[in-house]
Amino acid sequence: MPGENLSREEARERAAILSVERYDVALDVRSAVAPDDADGERTFRSTTVIDFRCSRPGASSFADLLAPEVISVRLNGRELDPAKVFDGTRIALDGLAERNTLVVDARCAYSRTGEGLHRFEDPEDGEVYLYTQYEPADARRVFANFEQPDLKAPFTFQVNAPLGWTVLSNSERDGEPSPAGDGEGAVSRFLPTQPISTYITAVVAGPYHVEHDHYSRSFADRAVLDVPLSALCRKSLARHFDADEIFTVTKQGLDFFHDNFDYPYPFGKYDQAFVPEYNIGAMENPGCVTFREEYVFRGKVTRASYEGRANVILHEMAHMWFGDLVTMRWWDDLWLKESFADFMGAFAMVEATQYDAGWITFANRRKAWAYRADQLPSTHPVVADIRDLQDAKLNFDGITYSKGASVLKQLVAYVGRDAFLEAARRYFKRHAYGNTTLADLLAVLAETSGRDMAGWSRSWLETAGVNSLTPQVVYGADGRITELSVLQTAAESHPELRPHRVAVGLYRRLPAGALERYARVETDVAGPVTVVDGLAGQERPELVLVNDDDLTYCKIRFDEVSLETLRGHLGDLTDPLARALAWSAVWNLTRDGLMPARDYLGLVLRFAGSESDIGVLQSLHLQARSALTHYVAPDHREEAARSLAEGALRELRQAEPGSGHQLAWARFFANVASTASDFQLLHGLLDGSAKIDGLDVDQELRWTFLETLIAEGAADASAVAAERSRDDTASGHRHEVRCLAARPSAQVKAAAWADVVDSDRLSNALVEATIAGFAQAGQRELTAPYTEPYFAALERVWGERSIEIGMAVVRGLFPRHGGADALAAADAWLAARAGAAPALRRLVLECRDDLARALRAQQCDAPAGS
């Protein structure tokens, strides 16, 4: 992996002697629009001035920089020889004084991988767009710095860009752009930022379409807060841009956080840029948040998509306080920002916006991510052990985000909402613009709640694994409950039994058929067995739902009667959150090999059509596809696919015309279509010879239909070319690449493999598209020959490519459809490569575990002798 892998110990040693006073960074990006240099990589000029102190004069340290060329290095007026002090990743700094000034002039490379300063050329109009993305440590690809979160400083940016470009950074511009000294381009200068970490500095530049708004807030004890707002996207996406909706959610979020945090938004302006070829969902750069442009919806999407975008907007906004104002000292405590942002984003969305069913989505989707991550062999405590930057990169996972958020939801139930929010307020005021650890947060929680937080932290933050809670009911002769207990279990590998604040609900069917709750008790569960007081004497329930209302983080299990009730009546649950919890529970049973996958698919076929929550419905579609692909026994896949497609088509035809449910069922039908008649219908919907009342087959839906036809051999490359001519855009190009790689041809697979594994010519977005097309679940025979080449190439790819591309290749090309042979190959590689990079081994181990889980589930779906 290119670039020095900074260790935690090195960061601690550097922070012990250095403190940074300021950065001045000047970037010249006019080369972004220059003609391609066929003989070398495209670069930009980067000049950095760093004023810093050293508590041990005479000591040595280093600055971080990843650059093709360093032109000059000057330390305290002394010219240093770049050939001697720069090794390609670090600049050696010897003989430091008490006060120091470092000046580095370099040529840095534009990125095609979404790391550093990414350059994108729009195929629709030829315009060039730039944006930065650094987390956890890619600011060093753009300017020289001390790349660790606890060496905060004010930053002053200056950007020389082509005339007419919009240029943004974290702070407001210091006056209007001025002509460059050589008459080419314009220089934008920005005011100094507040003290922030390197990884959240930002530059966005290009001929972006920009819309403006404004937020004002009056405080009783201070002046009015005025926050200029802007929202940006590429010019060619402007016709799809719904900035008004984005501004509405933004203002609602700012109101919510001001009401609850009692700390005014600290970073002046609030820009939100939707940028191309982005690797992640969004990034919380203070004052200049960046989002993946897929949140600018090119076609019709469901309400769940708007809810998801709102959640991301509010997640990033929560970071302005949790992460940007107060930042973790090292990546061990990444949860101090990501868990809180994940929780507060959902909290704010539910309480401040129209998307008030967000906790249902959280229970069904976000926690599914956490449950999966927490059962992998790489699971870790929420407070993690992060040895180096590669560890940090992989720690942006379901535990740090969604398990951490779930734990915080449990914490609110444990200490109370008022105590939790008061702790946040004290935390911000006490540590503003500083860095913290777990101990700092626990201290304020103990103050506001009056509880001993050490035991809670040990159980929930410092141990790994997920508990299972199962009801056990004893009845008397009269059929009423004499005792209801909750049994708590844990995996042998992670045996911690935790304290849970839970609600236990009792449900029964009404004469009209509805399944409704008639009794509820909230209690504390601890240890292996907890008797639930307050339910003795209740009538016999048909369903006992542990963790009703989703107060804690656990896997829900059922007694036999409750499970049978769900098999026959899951869709009759009238409460949407209870229904979402039930769906989540049966999905976990399926993944754990305790419920046959075809039983789960049967539940989807019987009850998904009546699911009112569109987000839950779309989750069910994703999970049904996963069950079909991974968990159904191979001999039954064809039959299961046919049943799913028949059910999907039935629901598609019955759905309300023009509704989100109709659109969701159309996409699902396309994804599971498997027969000649299915393909004929898809062709008809594409060419207009078939119609479904109310279904608008827009451009995005056309690509969905076409990919299935291409992968199944029911359409060819000429159809892809024709579709691309209809959609000559960046999105169209990505769809084209994916479809072409999905063709069922050995020659096609070989070319796609070479494009990704043997070449680095593709951008991150096209690598992703090529891998998605290559790894089609229905093309096992075509991809099976790549098991051996995959394991042979792993260490080379990991060593040569950026970590973002390396992760995409390792995860995306793992032979997950290869069955027992692929599992054996993974085991052999892991046994023979004990010395491989720990982050690489972790990725392979996770993929191997997913495959082993799938094989166990297949055995459950087709028991011996069936």
What pLDDT score was predicted for residue 709?
Answer: 98
CA angle 645, 662, 697 (to 5 degrees): 90
Q: What is the pLDDT of residue 864?
A: 57
Which of 584, 587, 554, 541 shows the shortest CA–CA distance to 467?
554
- How do residues 389-432 score in pLDDT, each as one tens digit? 999 999 999 999 999 999 999 899 889 999 999 999 999 999 99
pLDDT band at 387 (very low <50, low <70, confident <90, very high): very high
Contact (Cβ atoms closer than 8 angstroms) between residue 721 and residue 753 = no
Residues in the chain: 866
Specify the amino acid at residue 736.
E
Question: What confidence score (pLDDT) does residue 865 get?
Answer: 53
pLDDT tens column, 101-118 = 999 999 999 999 999 999
Band (pLDDT 50/70/90 cuts) for residue 723 is very high
The model's pLDDT over 504-555, given as tens digits with 9 standing for 90+, comes to 999 999 999 999 999 999 999 999 999 999 999 999 999 999 999 999 999 9
Give per-residue pLDDT as tens, 182-210: 778 999 999 999 999 999 999 999 999 99
CA-based torsion, 33, 34, 36, 42: positive or negative: negative
Helix 819-832 × helix 787-800 angle, to 10° = 40
Residue 1 has pLDDT above 50, yes or no: no
- The mean pLDDT value of the chain amounts to 96
CB 135 within 8 A of CB 252: no
Average pLDDT for 726-751: 97
CA distance 71 to 77: 16
Q: Which one is catalytic: 115, 293, 316, 542? A: 316
Question: Does position 651 have pLDDT exceeding 50, yes or no?
Answer: yes
Across 36-55, average pLDDT: 88
User: Going edge to edge, which strands form the sheet with 78-80?
Assistant: 78-80, 69-75, 99-109, 43-54, 18-28, 155-161, 186-189, 178-179
For the chain, what is the largest distance between any 2 Cα atoms, rounded to a whole number of angstroms? 95
Distance CA 361, CA 336 (A): 23
Question: Please, which residues have CB within 8 angstroms of residue 834's CB and are 6 or more apart in sequence?
Answer: none
Is residue 2 predicted with pLDDT exceeding 50? no
Residue 809 amino acid letter: V
Structure tokens at 856: 């166990």
Confidence check: pLDDT of 341 > 60: yes
316 noted as active-site residue: yes
What three-state secondary structure class fits 259?
Answer: helix
pLDDT in tens, 662-682: 999 999 999 999 999 999 999
Share of the chain above pLDDT 90, in %: 95
Residues 6+ apart with CB under 8 A from 4: 64, 89, 90
- Candidates 63, 239, 57, 42; CA nearest to 139 is 63
- Omega of the bond leading into 35 within 30 degrees of 0 (cis): no
Cα 173 to chain center, whole Å?
Answer: 31
User: Rounded to an integer, what distance in angstroms lies between the CA atom of residue 579 and that of residue 571?
Assistant: 7
State the pLDDT at residue 223. Answer: 77
Res. 3 pLDDT band, cuts 50 70 90: low
| Structural Rg of the chain based on CA atoms | 28
Is pTM, for the whole model, over 0.85? yes
